[in-house]
Structure formats: structure tokens, C-alpha cells
Structure 1
Amino acid sequence: MSGVVLTSGWVIALLVGLTVAAAVATAAFWDRGRFRVVHRAAGLLVVQLLLLVSLAAVVNKQANFYVTVGELLGQGGDTYAQTLPADSPRLSVDGGQDELAGWIAAHPAAPGRGTVIPATLAGRSTGYALPAQIYLPAGYRASAGDLPVVMFLAGYPGTVFSWLDSVGVGAALDEAIGSGRLPPVIAVMAEQDPVRGRDSECVDSALGVKSDTYLTSDLPEIIHKHFRAAQGRQNWAVAGYSTGGFCAVNLALRHPDRFGAAASLAGYFRPLIDRSTGDLYQGDLDLRRANDPRLMIGQSRPQPLDLFLTAGADDRSAQRDLTAFAPMVRAPDTALVIADRPGGHNFTTWRAILPDLFDWLDERLGGGHRTAA
């Protein structure tokens, strides 16, 4: 039961069918039986509950919050094999090139559109085999030269489909690259939670889960192996919304050799311990401090970091975090802060900020000029 995929069409159809059947049954037996008040109340209650569950399932499919029943119930477990198409390539540093070539040949992109490859990325350091969506810009195979890379991280709950299906980053990249506002880039929508149903915060936790290592060591190694990804921190950026925003800033501060730029869309800047994360640090104060952007932003690093920080004007929690953190960014680090755009903590707000994000990335990827805001 825990492996049932909630975003499957048959699951939603079943729930809708049960809702309709319950409504019909309630109407049919409305005036029958001796205890009419009881069965009428029970019928109405069942119909309303099924209606709410059906609506929740539709919203969940659109927003990509939970994939399986087990994830919804916080049971964790390895259910990632069910989240990607059966013919998706499995990529590692030791293999997968033939599978990748076959998948690309079998799924040609429309003219002017990028190719999105669903793939399992099997890491060498961690042993994790996690799903990803990899965007290659239009003309990738015909062009020469290595391309910058942007890693996109979702909030919690969220999936590797969230940036594409809910934020619409694929179509936005097509438009920005096609119009010349952004250089051709490889975009990687990465899975950040090695244990399904448990928020990793993208850290190497005291519990032994190594999300940080997977994202900053295993994933770049695989991307460099299979794609024309440019080397150097000036060619790598990381962006995230909500929890993914914390991840982006935290990872960039922890790995200045890997990322030259990080973007937080309605993120926060403090390490959390809550029901979704569990106790990631197990009382290890040094480990917790080593994953606190508020402490790390003032530390000396070999290279400065460029930050893109934004939150919708109606997103009160994110606004408080942004207002507290932004003044901590001092030269030679830079921060572009956008806090006056309308919107709350939702995909519509984050979709609307993409043009600004891409303009900012255009100035930084590939060693573009640095401007302080």
C-alpha cells in the first residue's frame, strides 16, 4: 500500500469515482430505512470526506508534493523507482551513456524547445540512486563547447517534477535562452532527500544521511561524465524555493569551490529541526553551526559568493527571514534583494520572479561581470 503512486491518473479517477458513487448512493437511499437521520448524516459525511480527498489528490498532482502513500505518511523507504518512466536512463560515472543516447534519440525535442531527460543518478560516494530531471537547451547536440550548469532544488514536500510542472522553469528557460537573455545552460532538477518522506535540509546529518555529499560531489561528477558541463565555480549556480532556498544558500556557502552563485526564492537561513526533518544534528552543536548560513556568511572564504534573495511581499515568514539575513551580506559577497513583488508563498509568485532570476544568472554564469546590489 505504501508504494501506491498518488499522482497516477488511476488513483485520482478512483477517488472521483468513489465520490460520485457515494453521492448517488446517498441520494438513492435518502428516504429509505428506519434510521433516516443516521444514514443521511453518514452519507453526507462520506461524500464530503471523499470530495476533500479527491480535491487534495488533484492539488497534489499539480503541485508535486507527495508521490506515494508511504511518503505522505512519512514512512520513508525506497520508492524512487516508481517516480520516473520505465525507459529512463540510469547514469553513473561507470555507465549509462548508451541508455542516455538511446533515450535522447527516442525523444526528439520540438524546434526551439529544450530536452528534458528523466534519469536516475547513481552516486559513487554515497551509493544513492536518486531521480533527476535534466534540461538540455535547444541545439545542445549540434553546438560545441561546454555549458554552465544550474541546479534547481525544490521545497519540502516536493519532487524533481516541481520546478518543471509547478514553477514552469523548462518553458521559461526555452524563452530566455531563445531570446538571448540567458546563455544556453544545463539545468538539473535534483532530488535532495535520500530518504523518501523525510526532509534532509540538504545536509550531511548526524544520522548518516549524506544529502550534501550527494548534491555537491556525486551529482556534479555524473553531470560532468555524461554532459558537456563546464568546469569551475563561475559556471555552476544553485537555486531553490522554500526549503530549497535554504539548501541553495547553505550549500554554496559550504562549497565555495563548487558554486559561484546561489538563489533563494522564499527560503530561510537557519537550520531547522521539526517533524519533517527529525533531529538531523543529534545534539552536535558544531555540525548545526556548520549548516547555519547566518554564521557562515560572515566567514572568510577563498572566493566571494553572489546571492539572489527574494520573497513575495505577502509571504510574511519568508519576509522576516529575508529582512534579517540580507544585511549580513557584506563585500566582497554581493546580494540582489527583491522583496517588493506581490505574492505569497506559492508557485505563482516564484514563476513570476524567473525573468529577474535569469537576468541575474546571465551576469554571473561563465564569469560574467560582478555587480553589487
Structure 2
Amino acid sequence: MGLTSTTVLVVAVTLAVASFAATVGLWPRLARRSAAAVAGRVGLLLATQLALFASVGLAANNAFLFYGSWADLFGRQQDLGVVTDHAAGASGTRHVTRTGTRHPDVPGGRDPRVGGRIDQVVVSGRTSGIQSPAYVYLPPEYFRSAYAGRTFPAVVVLTGYPGTAENLLKGLRYPRTAHERVAAGRARPMILVMLRPTVAPPRDTECVDVPGGPQTETFFAKDLPEAVSGAYRVGRKARNWGIIGNSTGGYCALKTGLHHPDRYAASAGLSAYYRAAEDPTTGDLFHGDQALRDRADLMWTLENRPPSGGSFLVTTSREGEGNRRSTMRFIDKVKAPAKVSSIVLDSGGHNFTTWRREIPPALEWLSARLSGN
């Protein structure tokens, strides 16, 4: 049974209730001062507390999808699975390998021409050498004859840290939201490439090229667009590509767009921060190189590098988010020819509930700035 399955949660809740009932029922019998009675009371209390904490933890994880599997919870790198076939249109390329498919959670989702399709893939970076699992959402139009000769805009979608790509499907509902926006006439069909920024798990590389380590920025800025464009009907120009993420993924999206406007025309950071974190999860990212540290500081880049192109979307809230002041500073520092937009909620914390309110307008914003052919 998977970590996020309802069965596991039901079992945990059942054990908690049973432990509580057993404690109430057996307590009078264990009221003596003997060693056995004391051990019995301690055992009942411990079992009840453990079952209760497990139930609360599982319920919170199911709501926010901090971890997608038992292996992810315990920090073990997951096997990427058995290769079954190559991605549609991937003739002659070895950089995107499809390992399975899913049906989107939309009406008529079992028919790709109605609901689209979600491919489970492994992306192999030709330059960085990084391999990362990902999900690729293909909209229904991708499978319709009227669109057979057309390319589609693509958006890279990143989770926070230590989230999993599963969060983007279940918790943040990107495919379903994209499908609904198109159906409502608010956005154009787009391909979504969904993955986590942690491409060298469990290390948080903050989407930088670590000296002597993972070349994460190269993977997102160069390898990923090249690989996906070779496997699916996506253009190779900047106007064909956007990138969005939340929290750490938001920082990565803004950083990648800021440094690579020739690759990404539009970048959106939901509840983003603006300077690379440095803590035990990241390790030594810069190896004492101040120039690399400065480059990973978006404010420093805006102040000290010539203005670049591209469009940026940032989000915050007047109450509940800790990034409001830095977000306002970022907005002030963006200069032409770059453009900046914002979503400022009255209230909203650093959580899935807030991001689900921001994703629909963010996808519309990206759609308006990207094109296919």
C-alpha cells in the first residue's frame, strides 16, 4: 500500500481509535503498582500516541503531498522503472524515454482526444548528464487531426523542495486546471513538463551549476527544452517555452528565466524567494566563489547585470506570506526590455491552498505570452 493511499490512512485511524478504546477499557485492570501493570499502562499510552501521530501525519501528507512514497519519505532514491517504449514522436532521439502513461483527472480522461494524456518519462540531459523522472501532460488537441501539423507551447512546472512531481498532479492539479482554462476559452492548449527541481536527490541544488557537482541550471536551461522539443511537437524558440514553480521551484523558475531569456520567454514564481538558500540540505553550492553566489541572487543580478528580456510573474499576499517585501523589491528592480506582473492576494499562506488560487491566472498569463508555431 502506497504512502498516500486512502487505505493506509484508514488503517492508521482505525488503529488509533482501537488503541484509545483499549486504553479506556483496560486502564482499571492496570491500576495496580506492579511492574507488569506499569509496563501495560506505558505500552497502551505509547501505542495510542504513535497511532494518533501517524494518523495526523498521514492526513497532512495526503492533503499537501510532502512525500509521494515510502521511499521518498525515508530518503531513498527511487528506481526509475522499466523502459517500455519511447515518447510519441521521439524517433531518432534518446533523451526522453516514456515509461508509462496516466489518464488525466478530467471528464472523458480515458480518451486522449477528449482529456489528453499524461506520459511518465525519464529525461536524460545530454550536456549536464542528469537524468530525471518527469510527467508530460499532452492536451486533447495534441491528438486531434486538426492540430496534426502544429507545434504547441510548453511550460516547465516545478515543485518546491522536497516535493515530488506527484504533487503537481494531485495536490496542485496542473493538468486539470490547464484543461479547464482551455475549455473556458481562457488559455490556449499547452504541454506541461512537470518535475521537481531536486534532480540530484536528496540534495537541494537550488537550480545552480555546482562546481564539481550537479549541473542543474544547465539541465533546466539547455537539456530539458532540447530533449522535450526532440520528443514532442514543441518549438525550440524562447517564445515556445515558459517555466513556473512554487517556493523553491518558484525561485528556480525566475532564476532560469532571468539568466536564459533566449530559452524561456515567460517565467512565473509562486511564493518564490530571490536568493539561493544555503543550508544542510544544499551543501556547499558555490565552493567559495562569490561570483557564483552573486549570480544566484536575483536582486544582485537585476542591479548589476544589463537588463535582459523576458516576462516575469511573481506572487505574494498582504497577510500570510513572508516574501511580500522582497517581491515588491523584485518588481521595482525589473527594467525594460523585461516586463513584470504580479498576483497579490489579500491573505494566503505558503501552502497548496494558496497556490491553487494562483495557478489558474498564472496559466492564463503564461498562455498569453507563449506561442506554438
Normalising by structure 1, we get a TM-score of 0.84
Indicate the larger mover: 233-242 or 344-353. Answer: 344-353
CA shift in 2, pair 1:10/1:79, >3 Å? farther
Normalising by structure 2, we get a TM-score of 0.84
CA shift in 2, pair 1:147/1:158, >3 Å? same
2:306 corresponds to which of 300, 303, 306: 300
Any residues of structure 2 matched to 1:37-116 within 5 Å, and which? 39-69=40-70, 71-73=72-74, 75=75, 77-81=76-80, 94-95=93-94, 103=101, 108-109=110-111, 112-116=114-118
Counterpart residue number, 1:371: none
Moved over 6 A (4+): none
1:129 corresponds to which of 125, 128, 131: 131
Counterpart residue number, 2:3: 6
Structure 2 residue ranges without an equivalent (≥5): 104-108
| CA distance in 1: counterparts of 2:60 and 2:234, whole angstroms | 35
Indicate the larger mover: 134-143 or 357-366. Answer: 357-366
Any residues of structure 2 matched to 1:169-248 within 5 Å, and which? 169-206=174-211, 208-248=213-253
Structure 1 residue ranges without an equivalent (≥5): 369-373
Q: Give a deviation string over 1:17-72, Cα, whole Å, max 9, x none.
A: 54345334434432224345664354234312321222212322332212355644
Partner amino acid, structure 1, of 2:213: G
Indicate the larger mover: 148-157 or 58-67. Answer: 58-67
Q: Is the 8 A contact 2:312 2:340 kept in 1?
A: yes
Q: Is the 8 A contact 1:207 1:282 kept in 2?
A: no
Counterpart residue number, 2:360: 355
Residue 119 of structure 2: SS of its match in structure 1? Answer: strand
CA shift in 2, pair 1:210/1:16, >3 Å? farther
Question: 1:355: how far off?
Answer: 3.0
CA shift in 2, pair 1:79/1:367, >3 Å? closer
Partner amino acid, structure 2, of 1:121: V
Q: Is the 8 A contact 1:312 1:349 kept in 2?
A: no
Question: 1:5: how far off?
Answer: 5.9
| CA distance in 1: counterparts of 2:210 and 2:234, whole angstroms | 29
| CA distance in 2: counterparts of 1:306 and 1:206, whole angstroms | 29
Q: State the identity as a percent.
A: 32
Q: Is the 8 A contact 2:65 2:163 kept in 1?
A: yes
Question: 1:317: how far off?
Answer: 1.0
1:288 corresponds to which of 280, 286, 293: 293
Q: Is the 8 A contact 1:116 1:134 kept in 2?
A: yes
Indicate the larger mover: 5-14 or 43-52. Answer: 5-14
Any residues of structure 2 matched to 1:321-360 within 5 Å, and which? 321-360=326-365
Please state if 1:138 is matched with 2:140: yes
Q: Is the 8 A contact 2:240 2:265 kept in 1?
A: yes
| CA distance in 1: counterparts of 2:216 and 2:72, whole angstroms | 17
